[in-house]
Amino acid sequence: MQVVAVQSLQARPAAVPKPRVPAREEDGPWHAEAVCRRDEAGLFFAPSKEPTAARLSREEAAKRVCARCPVMVACREHALLQPEPYGVWGGLTAAERRVVLGRRRRRAAELRQAPGGGPIAAAG
């Protein structure tokens, strides 16, 4: 069965990766309810060579929009699973998402290495 899968992959032409598109433009169940659909994308994505003070101010304004969004958690999970390398998604900046992803990776590694990692250890 594994040989069939390899043969079918060889028969297909090389796939072109799908370009990353902000969630506001993708089709999906949670996007329609996103508060950011009504705001300017510039609030969520940095212009090139943005000064630090301006970036921090813009990110805080974007986070305020996210804080009142009914789909903030879904948006955040999308950005973490994708992973989205730029912008404010689900109330987190790209740097904050990298921290969350690092913590999740460490936690998963700890659970894999835990002796007797039964259901109670995995729930922790």
Report field, pTM of the whole predicted structure over 0.75: no
Q: Who's near 28: CB < 8 A, 6+ residues apart?
A: 78
Q: What is the pLDDT along the chain (124 residues), one digit of tens a residue?
A: 444 443 433 444 444 444 444 444 454 578 888 888 876 777 999 888 999 999 999 999 999 999 999 999 999 999 999 989 999 999 999 999 999 999 999 999 988 887 765 555 555 5
Mapping DSSP to helix (H, G, I), strand (E, B) and coil, where does residue 85 land?
coil
